[in-house]
Structure formats: structure tokens, C-alpha cells
């Protein structure tokens, strides 16, 4: 019986702690910079994503958490840029809206997740982002 009481007390403490944390999270939301620092502290940067792409930075400002990538390949004109931007936008939305529960939680708290891609050759960066609204609307 004392074992049951001990485990019940531990379970009750865990529920109270979780409830207090959730209330605190709502009462004093984290800044995008704090979220970015937490993610970065659990990441190894730079981090090679594939043969030509490397995650170089994670930062936050305002309500946006930004992941900065470098791509060891240039863009071949406006059509290539447009096609690449559409593909990157689709990949981000698919990942965040459908596959990553932590990212969905960040969006649910009102933040925006952004990816900034810098390409070899100095072409302008491509920036794609997703918000809770864009996941809900599918755009």
C-alpha cells in the first residue's frame, strides 16, 4: 500500500509540475531567440544536411525562428530560382505541418518557422516560412 501511495504522490507531483509549466509557458512565453538558442544547443553546427546543403545557424527575432542554410551550388537564372523556391517552400511546409510534432508546437504558440538559403555565387537568398495559419490553410 505504501508503494502505491509513493507512486501516486510522484504522479501527482509530475502532473502539478506539468500544469505549472504549461501555465508559466502561457503566462511568460519564450522569445523566438530563446527557442532558437535551445534548438541550437541541441544541434551540432554546422551540420551537413546533404551533399550540397549545410545548416549553419539557428536564430530568433520577433516571432520568427530562422534556420540558416548554405548551398554549395548556384542558381541558373530566374526560372531555376522560382522552381527552387517552390520546391523549398513545399518541403518546409510538408515537414513542419505533417511530420514534426515539435515544430507544430512552436507554430501553435504563435511563432513562425523560417528557412533562409544562401547559394554559391552570391545570388540572392531564398527565404521560405511557415506559420500556424499557412499549415491550417495548406498554403
- CATH fold, domain 31-137, is GMP Synthetase; Chain A, domain 3 (3.30.300)
For residue 49, what are the contacts with CB-CB under 8 A and spacing of at least 6? 55, 69
Q: Is 80 left (phi over 0), alpha (psi -120 to 50) or beta?
A: alpha
Predicted pLDDT at 25: 56
Q: Provide the 10 A C-beta neighbour count for residue 85.
A: 15
pTM: predicted TM-score of the whole model, two decimal places: 0.77
Predicted pLDDT at 3: 32
Predicted pLDDT at 103: 87
Contact 21, 13 (CB under 8 A): no
Residue 53 to residue 108: CA distance in whole angstroms: 28
Per-block mean pLDDT, blocks of 10 residues, the chain (139 long): 37 44 56 88 87 93 94 89 93 91 88 94 89 83
Which sequence spans correspond to the domains of the chain? 1-29, 31-137
Q: Which residues partner with 68 through β-bridges?
A: 57, 116
Amino acid at each position: 500500500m505504501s508503494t502505491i501511495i509513493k507512486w501516486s504522490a510522484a504522479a501527482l507531483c509530475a502532473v502539478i509540475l506539468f500544469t505549472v509549466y504549461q501555465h508559466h509557458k502561457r503566462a511568460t512565453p519564450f522569445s523566438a531567440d530563446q527557442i532558437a538558442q535551445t534548438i541550437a544547443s541541441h544541434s551540432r553546427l554546422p551540420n551537413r544536411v546533404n551533399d550540397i546543403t549545410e545548416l549553419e545557424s539557428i536564430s530568433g527575432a520577433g516571432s520568427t525562428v530562422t534556420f540558416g542554410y548554405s548551398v554549395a551550388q548556384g542558381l541558373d537564372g530566374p526560372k531555376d530560382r522560382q522552381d527552387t523556391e517552390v520546391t523549398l517552400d513545399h518541403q518546409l511546409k510538408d515537414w513542419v505541418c505533417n511530420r514534426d510534432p515539435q515544430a507544430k508546437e512552436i507554430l501553435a504558440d504563435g511563432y513562425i518557422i523560417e528557412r533562409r538559403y544562401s547559394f554559391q555565387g552570391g545570388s540572392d537568398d531564398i527565404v521560405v516560412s511557415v506559420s500556424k495559419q499557412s499549415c491550417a490553410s495548406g498554403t
